[in-house]
Amino acid sequence: MEAKGTALVTGASRGIGRATAIALAERGFDVVATMRDPAAGEGLSEEGGGRVRVQRLDVNDPASIVLPVDLRVLVNNAGVEDDNLPLETMPSEIWRKLFETNVFGLVEVTKNAVPLMRARGGGVICNVTSSSILAPVPFLGAYRASKAAVGAIGESLQAEVAQFGIRVVEIMPGPIETDMLAASDRPAGAIADEPYRALAEMMWASRQNIRDAYTPAPEAARRIVDAILDDDGPLRYGCDDMSEGMLEGWRMVASDDAWLRPMFDAFSISS
């Protein structure tokens, strides 16, 4: 697609969302940078060369989900993480909290976007999940499950809306330098749980090996915008060297695109 018209980003107060709002504006989009507290958007308009406007949107507050009628690109970026615990001790409130924002909130925003894009003949819906989906990382089951749910939702959505000229893109970030990455830079909470202590210590030691792969958010954002503009590209993308490498390795084994493409074709109705 051509980099013009209106794009909206959720969770644009900081991190990947904020950087993506700026990157979209730099390429030529008029950007609505949405966030729970608009005060956090101070400076964004200037950073985006005057093409960014800030709007309140909490993905868990349906009344706040007001999308522009000329929406061409939706970036579902808002997301939360929590303590990394073994399944047997992970409180159900944390499971619910992760799914509330990462899955149900994203679905609510997307439900509002589809009819708008359909009315205008198309657009791109870009869901930010996680490359951790591709690795069976211990203690990350709840977070990974919420992101994998979005992956499955995106696949079905692509099959539903391709006929309207809407493309779905899934971004699976690796370690991107944001508050979320900083907050996770400590041993998993599982370390306090005797049966899991040794595994948690091992995971913490192996975490030190990926520090070189930490990628600045503006670099991830640049690759996210490239993926959005890549009309004939695949469903899934990384946005840093580590996630791109993981995806490449996974494709060699699982060949996801070879698997999915004929089904997308079989389910498609030409527009």
Question: Which residues make up the interface to ligand NAP (CB under 6 A)?
Answer: 10-11, 13-17, 35-37, 40, 58-60, 77-80, 101, 105, 128, 130, 173, 175-176, 178-181
Let me know: does 225 contact 110? Beta carbons within 8 Å. no
Q: Which amino acid is at 238?
A: G
Distance of alpha carbon 254 from alpha carbon 204, whole angstroms? 28
| Cβ proximity to ligand NAP, 64 vs 118, nearer residue | 64
Smallest gap from residue 155 Cβ to ligand NAP (A): 18
The string of DSSP codes covering 14-70 is SHHHHHHHHHHHHHT-EEEEEES-GGGGTTHHHHTTT-EEEEE--TT-GGG----TT
| Cβ proximity to ligand NAP, 97 vs 118, nearer residue | 97
Distance of alpha carbon 132 from alpha carbon 222, whole angstroms? 21
Angle at 252 between CA 146 and CA 126, to 5 degrees: 40
Distance of alpha carbon 157 from alpha carbon 118, whole angstroms? 13
| Cβ proximity to ligand NAP, 139 vs 162, nearer residue | 139
Q: Which of 143, 196, 214, 237 is catalytic?
A: 143
HSE (side-chain half, CA atoms, 13 Å) at 262: 3
Active-site residue flag, 196? no
Distance of alpha carbon 207 from alpha carbon 122, whole angstroms? 41
193: phi > 0 → left, psi -120 to 50 → alpha, else beta; which? beta
Smallest gap from residue 143 Cβ to ligand NAP (A): 7
Rounded to whole angstroms, what are the CA distances from 113 to 7, 159, 263? 11, 16, 24
Smallest gap from residue 109 Cβ to ligand NAP (A): 9
| Cβ proximity to ligand NAP, 100 vs 256, nearer residue | 100
| Cβ proximity to ligand NAP, 18 vs 167, nearer residue | 18
Smallest gap from residue 222 Cβ to ligand NAP (A): 15
Dihedral of alpha carbons 55, 59, 63, 68, sign = positive
Smallest gap from residue 51 Cβ to ligand NAP (A): 19
Please identify every residue annotated as catalytic. 143
